[in-house]
Amino acid sequence: MKRIDIDHAEGRSRRIDTPGHHPEREAQPRGAIRRGKRPIDHAEAAERFLAAPDHLAFHDQRLWDLRQKRDREAFAIPEWEELRDLASSIKDYALANLDTLLEEFERNAQANGITVHWARDGAEHNRIVVEIMRRHDAPLLVKSKSMLTEECGFRDHMQEQGLAVIETDLGERIQQLDNEDPSHVVVPAVHKLRADVAAVFAKTLGTDPDNHDPAYLAEQQRESNRPLILGAGVGMTGANFLVAETGTVVVCTNEGNADLSANVPPVHIVSAGIEKIIPRAGDLGVFIRLLSRSALGSPITQYTSHFRGPRLGAEMHVILVDNGRSARLGMQQFRSALKCIRCGACMNTCPVYRRSGGLSYGATYAGPIGLIIDPTIDQRKYSALPYASTLNGSCTAVCPVKIDIHQQIHAWRGIMAEQKEPSRTKRTAMKAAALLLAHPSAYRVAVRTVGTVLPHMPRFAVYNPLNAWGRGREVPNAPRRTFHDWYKANRT
C-alpha cells in the first residue's frame, strides 16, 4: 500500500503534527457520560475533550481543513448557491409528496426485482434483517457505514441474536473494534489519533502496538476484513438517496466498501430512512455535486454507486425505516431537518463541535444537526443540547440543503424553556432579569448597587455565578460612570 503525498482532493490534509511531542501517549478523551434518561451534559464532556491538547489540536485543525477544502470547491462553482436553492426546493417537494414518492419508489424497485420492506422503528428493522439472515442460514453480515443502523442499535441487537456484523468502512471499523459510537457522520474516528488506532488494532487485530503508521494500520484492516467480506452471507449498505422515478438506491463512499458489501455476498440489504427519497434521476446531479464538496471538499466521492436491482443470481432487499421520521414531518418548526443529506459540513464548520468532539453530544447525531434532531428522539435526554451552540449561524450558511439549523437550535431553546427543562436557578434568574429590565428605575438602582459587590458586573446579563465568566477570562474593568450618567451630566 502506498502512502500518497501528492495533491488529492479529499486527502489533501497533510499529516498534522500535534504541538509539543508527548513521550507519554495522551489518553483519548471519552464521550459524554450516559445515565439512562438523565440529560446529557455536553459541557462536562467538552471540558474533558479540551483537557486533551493533542486530540483537541488535531481535531480542530483536521475539521477546519475540511471546511477550507469545502470552501475552495464551493467557490469554484459559479452556480453553487443556485445548487443549494435547488437542493432545498427538491427536498421540500419530496417531503410534501413523501407518501406518493415512497409508493412510486416501491413500485419501481419491485418491478426491478427488489424486495421492499417497511419498518416502523429500529426494532422492526433489526427483526427484518435477522429474518433474512436466518432464511439464508448466514451467520455473518458485512456492512458499510450507515447512521440509520446506529439509530436502530443494530450491531448490539445482532450480537444478542448471535449474528456477526463487520463494519467495512475503516473509520467505522475502528469505532466498532473500540466499542465506541461514530463521532462524526462522515469521518467516524476523527476524534482519534493514530496512536489510539494502533492501540485498538493491537488489542483486537493483533497488530504491532508500536507501529503507528496510518498506511500500516489501514493495510492491516484491509487484509483482516477481506476474507470476511469474501465469506459473508449478507451484505448491507445504507442509502444516500432513493430515486422514486427509477427505484434506484444511491450509495456514496470513498473506500468502495459499499460496493464490496453489496456486490460480493449473495444478498444485499439496504437500510434507508424514508426521508432519503428524491423524485427523479435528474435531481441526483444537484445532490451529488453538493454532497462530497460539502463534506470533504472533493468534487465527488471516489465511488458513487447506483443499485437498481439484484445482481444475476443474487437477492436485493430495501428496508424503508420510519423510526420517528413521519412524526418529525408533522413538527412544522423542525420539519426541514428531514432534508439533511448527512454531509457533516455543519460539524466541520462548527467551532463548538471542533473543540468538543462528536462523542460529547452523547447521541447518534452530533454537532449542529444533532442539536436539532436529537431532541426529536428524546426531548428530556437531549434537553441541554440546544444550549451547546453560540448560534453563530455558520452551520446554516454551509448547509447544502439550506436547513436553518441555528434558528432551529434557538427554537428548541424556546421549547425547553416552555417545558421547564432549564434548571430552576436559571429560570428564576431569567424571570428576575426580565422583571428588572422592564422597570427602568429599578434597573438603574440595580446597575448602581451591584457596583459595591462586584464592580458593575451585569448580573442581569449573566445568570450564573460570576465564576463561570471569570474562570477562563478576565472580568471587564468597571468605569467610573455609566453612559447613562455621563449623558445626564453632559447633554442635559
Partner 1 sequence: MRIGLFIPCFIDTFYPDVGIATLELLERLGLDVAYPFDQTCCGQPMGNSGFTAECHAVERLFVENFAGFDAIVCPSASCTNQVRNKFSVDDEAGRLVRGKTYELVEFLHDVIGLDRLPRAEFPYQVTLHNSCTALRALDHEPAPEMNLPFHSKPRALLATVEGLTIVETDRAGECCGFGGTYSVTEEAVSARMGLDKVTRQQNTGAAYVVSADMSCLMHQQGCAARAGIDLNYLHIAQILNGYRP
Partner 2 sequence: MSARDAILAAVRGNKPSQAVPRPDVPFFDRLADDALVDEFRRRLEQMGGRWLDPGPAEEPLAPARARIAQAGIVCSNVARLPGTRTLAAGDAPALLHDVDLAVVRAAFGIAETGSVAFSERELVVNTIGYLAQHLLVMLDPADIVGNLHHAYARPEMHAGHYLVFQTGPSATADIEGVLIHGAQGVRSLTVMLVARTIA
Closest distance to partner 2 from the beta carbon of 208 (Å): 15
Closest distance to partner 1 from the beta carbon of 443 (Å): 5
Closest distance to partner 1 from the beta carbon of 30 (Å): 17
Query: Could you tell which of partner 1, partner 2, none binds residue 397, using a CB distance below 5 to 8 A set by kind?
Result: partner 1
* Residue 112, SS3 per DSSP: coil
State the alpha helices, DSSP H only, in 350-399: 351-356, 367-377, 394-398
Closest distance to partner 1 from the beta carbon of 448 (Å): 10
Query: Could you tell which of partner 2, partner 1, none binds residue 456, using a CB distance below 5 to 8 A set by kind?
Result: partner 1
CA 167 vs CA 31, 54, 81, 150, 221: distances in Å:
21, 27, 36, 12, 11
Under rule CB under 8 A, residue 102 binds partner 1 = no
Tell which phi-psi region holds residue 239, choosing left (phi > 0), alpha (psi between -120 and 50) or beta: beta
Q: Considering beta carbons, is residue 3 or 431 the nearer one to partner 1? A: 431
Query: Could you tell which of partner 2, partner 1, none binds residue 155, using a CB distance below 5 to 8 A set by kind?
Result: none
Residue span binding partner 1 (CB under 8 A) among the ranges 96-104, 203-211, 304-312, 392-400: 392-400
Sheet with 234-237, strands from edge to edge, namely: 115-119, 315-321, 267-273, 234-237, 140-143, 164-167
Closest distance to partner 1 from the beta carbon of 240 (Å): 22
Residues 344-383 touching partner 1, rule: CB under 8 A, are: 349, 351-352, 355-356
Q: Considering beta carbons, is residue 206 or 414 the nearer one to partner 1? A: 414
Query: Could you tell which of partner 1, partner 2, none binds residue 415, using a CB distance below 5 to 8 A set by kind?
Result: partner 1
Query: Could you tell which of partner 2, partner 1, none binds residue 438, using a CB distance below 5 to 8 A set by kind?
Result: partner 1
The β-bridge partners of 235 are: 142, 268
Q: CA-to-CA distance for 236 and 234, rounded, in angstroms?
A: 7
Query: Could you tell which of partner 2, partner 1, none binds residue 306, using a CB distance below 5 to 8 A set by kind?
Result: partner 2
Closest CA to 195 of 216, 225, 169, 219: 216
Instruction: Give residue 445's identity as a one-letter amino acid code.
Output: V
- What the block records as the C-alpha cell of 430 is 431569567
Strand segments, DSSP code E, in 262-410 are: 267-273, 277-278, 303-307, 315-321
Tell which phi-psi region holds residue 454, choosing left (phi > 0), alpha (psi between -120 and 50) or beta: beta
Closest CA to 327 of 120, 119, 90, 94: 120
Under rule CB under 8 A, residue 16 binds partner 1 = no
CA 245 vs CA 107, 186, 214: distances in Å:
9, 27, 42
Task: Provide the 10 A C-beta neighbour count for residue 324.
Answer: 17
Query: Could you tell which of partner 2, partner 1, none binds residue 286, using a CB distance below 5 to 8 A set by kind?
Result: partner 2
Q: Considering beta carbons, is residue 184 or 456 the nearer one to partner 2? A: 184
Q: Is the dihedral of CA 116, 117, 121, 126 positive or negative?
A: negative
Query: Could you tell which of partner 2, partner 1, none binds residue 134, using a CB distance below 5 to 8 A set by kind?
Result: none
Closest distance to partner 2 from the beta carbon of 363 (Å): 21
Query: Could you tell which of partner 1, partner 2, none binds residue 42, using a CB distance below 5 to 8 A set by kind?
Result: partner 1
Residue span binding partner 1 (CB under 8 A) among the ranges 134-142, 262-270, 371-379, 394-402: 394-402
Closest CA to 361 of 376, 382, 378: 382
Write the interaction track for partner 1 spanning residues 420-449; mark x where CB under 8 A is met and - where it is not.
Answer: --x---xx--xx-xxxxxx-x--x---x--
Q: CA-to-CA distance for 181 and 219, rounded, in angstroms?
A: 22
Closest distance to partner 1 from the beta carbon of 83 (Å): 10
Query: Could you tell which of partner 1, partner 2, none binds residue 249, using a CB distance below 5 to 8 A set by kind?
Result: none
Write the interaction track for partner 1 spanning residues 35-64; mark x where CB under 8 A is met and - where it is not.
Answer: -------xx--xx--x---------x---x
**Contacting residues for 423 by C-beta, under 8 A, at least 6 apart:** none
Q: Considering beta carbons, is residue 282 or 455 the nearer one to partner 2? A: 282
**φ, ψ of residue 141 in degrees (nearest 5):** -120, 130
Binding-site size, partner 1 (CB under 8 A): 79
Under rule CB under 8 A, residue 486 binds partner 1 = yes
Q: Considering beta carbons, is residue 130 or 397 the nearer one to partner 1? A: 397
